[in-house]
Chain A
Amino acid sequence: MWPANKILTVLNQREGSLTTQEIADLTGLKQHQVVNSTDVLVKNKLAYRVERGVFTITLAGRSAIAVGTECKSGPRGAVGHRALRRISFRQRLWNALRIEQKGTQGHIVSLILQEDEREETALAGAKKYFSILCQAGYLAKLPGRAQGTAPTSNGYQRYLLVENTGPLAPRLCTDPRYLYDPNTGQTVALKREVPREP
C-alpha cells in the first residue's frame, strides 16, 4: 500500500485528528515519509491540516477510501502530448517520406539508416509507423507491388504520401488511439484497415 493510503486509512479509522508522531507510530512509517505524504494528502484535499503537525481526514478523503482510490505520486490529470526527442526515428521516417513522396518501407529505411542501427529493427519500426499513417489516411497504398528477390516473395507494398501537412512528424496517442498532427494541431481518428474481398 502507498504511504499516503496508509495514512488516509489510519485517519479514517480514528475519529478526530492525529499528530505526525501518532501517524508514524500507527502506520510504521518514518517521520519524513509521514511529512511528505500528509503534504500530498493536503494538496489533494483528502486531509486537512488542523494546525502544524496535526491532521484530520476530509469528506473527500473518506469517499476516496470508500471508492478505493489510490493516492500516489504521478501526474494529476492529463499531461498532454509527450515531449519528443528532436530528431526521433519516426521524425526521420517522416522527413524521408516528405522528400521521397512514395516508395517501399525498405527504400525509405535505406535512406535514413544510421551506421549504428540495425536494419531489422528499423524495418520493424517503419512497419508500425506506416500502418498508423495508413490508418489515419496520411499514406495510401499504391496498386502494384515492388518485386522481391526471394522465390516465394509477394513483393513489397508501395506507399504514397497523400497528406504532407508539414515538417513535424504526426504522432500516435494512445487511450484512446488517435494521431496527433503537430503541424495542424488536429487529431485524426484511426480507422482499422478492412481486408479486401478475395
Chain B
Amino acid sequence: MYNRFVKTSNVMDFLAGFTALETRGAAESCFLLIAGKAGLGKTSTVRWWGLSNQINAIYIRATKKITPHWILAEIVRSLGQEPDRRMEYVFAQALKLVATARRPIIIDEAEHCLDDPAVLESVRDITDLTETPVILVGYDKIRAKIQPYEQLSSRISAVVEFKAYKLEDVRTCCSELAEVEIADDLVESILKSSGGRIRLIKEAVASAERHGKRNKLSTVTLADMRGQVVINDWTKAAKRAS
C-alpha cells in the first residue's frame, strides 16, 4: 500500500469550511466545528492539514476531566514554554504565545471540553483577542452538545459534517492506496461491507492488495476475493467477499 493521504469529499468539505472561516464577516467567529461518527477520518484529516507547511497548527487532544488550566498549559507547552502553575499567569502566557505564533488551534475530542464549558471559555477568551482560528473536532453529537452555550455556538462560523464515504471516495482510496488495480465490483463490495468508514476501507484495500500480490494478479475482482476475509469488523462476523 502506498503511504499517502487521500483527499476524499470529506477532506474537500473541510478545506472549504476553513476557507469559509477565513473569509468570515465577524472577526470573533473563529470556531470551525468538525462533527461525524467514529472512523470517518476526522482526526486524520485535521492532523494532515495541521502538519502541512503552510498551516503548522497547534494540536491539542482533549481528555476526560480536562480543566481550563490544563488546556491552556497544553497550548503553552505546544509552543515550547513551560506553563506556570497559576491560572492568571498561564492565561497571560498562552495569550502572548498564541498572538505571536499566529497558528490555528486544533482541539481534537472536543466533546470532553464541554463537560465543563469553562474549558472552551478560556480558549474563547484568547481567540477573541487574537482572532486565531480554532478547529473543534468531535463526534456527531457535539453539535447538539454545544448548542446550549450561546457564547460558544454563536462563534462557530461553519460546521463540517463528516459523512460515510460514497462510492467515488472508495474508488479514489482504492486507486491511490493500492499497488494493484481493484475492480469496480470489488469497490462496490468494499463500500457495502465497510459502511463507508475509512478505517475499514483501508483494511479491505490491504487485504485485496495482499491477495493480488500473492496470486500475481494485476487487477483484483470480487470473484478473486471470494472466500477471503476482507474486513475484520468485530461488531459483525468477519466479512467475506460474497
Q: List residues of chain A with CB under 8 Å of any chain B CB.
A: 87, 92, 95-96, 98-100, 106-107, 109-114, 119, 123, 147, 149-151, 166-168, 183
Contacts and interface: CB of A to CB of B under 8 A. Distances in A.
A113 B80 contact: no
A96 B5 contact: no
B179 A167 contact: no
B235 interface: no
16 contacts: A87-B53, A92-B51, A95-B51, A99-B51, A99-B59, A100-B47, A106-B3, A109-B3, A111-B5, A111-B47, A112-B51, A113-B4, A151-B210, A151-B213, A151-B214, A166-B77
B79 interface: yes
B2 interface: yes
Contacts of B3: 106-107, 109-110, 113, 119, 123
B151 interface: no
Ranked 5 nearest A-B pairs via Cβ: A106-B3, A110-B3, A149-B209, A149-B210, A167-B80
Contacts of A147: 206
Contacts, number: 55
Contacts of A113: 3-5
Interface in B1-29: 1-5
A99 B47 contact: yes
A110 B7 CA distance: 12
Contacts of A87: 53, 56
B52 interface: yes
Contacts of B78: 167
Contacts of A99: 47, 50-51, 59
A120 to B, nearest CB: 10
B52 A114 contact: yes
Interface residues of B, number: 24
A110 B56 contact: no
Nearest to B52: A114
Given A150-B213, A151-B214, A119 B4 contact: yes
A119 B2 contact: yes
Nearest to B4: A110
Contact of A149 (B44, B77, B179): B179
B48 interface: yes
A151 to B, nearest CB: 5
Nearest to B208: A149
Nearest to A183: B80
Interface in B40-62: 44, 47-48, 50-53, 56, 59
Nearest to B48: A111
Contact of B53 (A92, A96, A106, A151): A92
Interface string B52-93: 110010010000000000000000011110000000000000
A144 B11 CA distance: 31
A149 B51 contact: no
